[in-house]
Amino acid sequence: MNLYLSAVGFSDMDSRQEAKFVRSAVKQCTDEGYILKNEVLKRGAAVVRVSSSAGLYIFGRYEGKKFIYEYYYPFILGSKISSNDEITIERHVDKESYSVICDEARTGVTLIFYLQNIMDYMNYIISRPGFKKEMFIPDRRNAISKTPIKANGIVMSALSVGGMILLPICKNGRNSKKNIDAEKKRRKLIAAAKNGDEEAMESLTIEDIDTYTRISQRIINEDVFSIVDSTFMPCGVECDQYSVIGEILELSKEQNIYTGETIYIMTLDCNNMVFTLGINEKHLLGEPLVGRRFKGQIWLQGNVKFKG
């Protein structure tokens, strides 16, 4: 059973009810012809919507004309497209799902997230010159997974099964011309450091040391959450799990049409990276409002816009 199933409104579902629901959803999608299919690779996916922004993506393969379900995962649809970054996609060991590795220019870190649109990726792969069906045999998957891909954009989203609401902090001067120029300069330094510029690396290191020194002095008399506006840090042993603090830019409520449970849909700004978050109302401590901050652990997902 997927841990984040409860995030999209199935908090009271046990593994037996889950299996029954998935079988029923697959049958309904098959009967109504709502299964995405790749004829060459004999793979398919049923997309079951449980609200306007949330749903289940059920992946499987075809044996003849019969769709065989293999696994599913819950998802939230994002709305904000990030910059056009170079990505690498790699298959997971235990099943035919994929992780995406992306160098995020604004934060200067390497992001790893769960690929949502698997069928789009497969359609993209078979359209590339020199494609061979044998490339999708698990022990030969490196033939396609190690090649960097240029995407038209990435739409980030995330699910959470536990979080709290923090009050905002004073941001006087945060959007001043001086700070905006400093942010642009930092992005240029990060880009230069990635290309091997030693001066840029040294400048970034000195800047980080100065920041650490200032925080160490302030934290003696101030609470850490009044100093740190937002964070985006890897969390746990799985690569696509992150601990975040982010400002709520947009907020809405949706109901799971099967259970009636309420899902909060938030657009968050974490370290200048904007993404959509879904969390069950039962798992959220505090009242979310635009301008307040969300703190919690997330499972990061992404929809990659592949070039045709």
Contacts 24+ apart (CB under 8 A), 126-134: 126/38, 126/40, 126/41, 127/308, 133/40, 133/41
Check residue 308 and give its pLDDT: 63
Which of the four pLDDT bands, split at 50, 70 and 90, describes residue 82? confident
Which of the four pLDDT bands, split at 50, 70 and 90, describes residue 72? very high
Which of the four pLDDT bands, split at 50, 70 and 90, describes residue 139? very low
How far apart are the C-alpha atoms of 162 and 238, rounded to whole Å?
A: 17
Check residue 246 and give its pLDDT: 93
| Closest of 133, 135, 132 to residue 144, by C-alpha | 135
Q: DSSP assignment of 224-268, as one string?
A: HHHH---EEEE-SSSTTEEEEEEEEEEEEEEE-TTT--EEEEEEE
Which of the four pLDDT bands, split at 50, 70 and 90, describes residue 134? low
Give the total residue count for the chain: 308
Check residue 146 and give its pLDDT: 59
Q: Tell me the pLDDT tens digit for each residue of 13-43.
A: 888 888 889 889 888 888 877 888 888 888 9
Comparing 131 with 244, the larger pLDDT belongs to 244
Q: Give pTM, 2 decimals.
A: 0.85
Percent of the chain topping pLDDT 90: 37
Per-chain mean pLDDT for the chain: 84
Average pLDDT value for residue range 187-211: 79
Is the pLDDT score of 174 beyond 70?
Answer: no
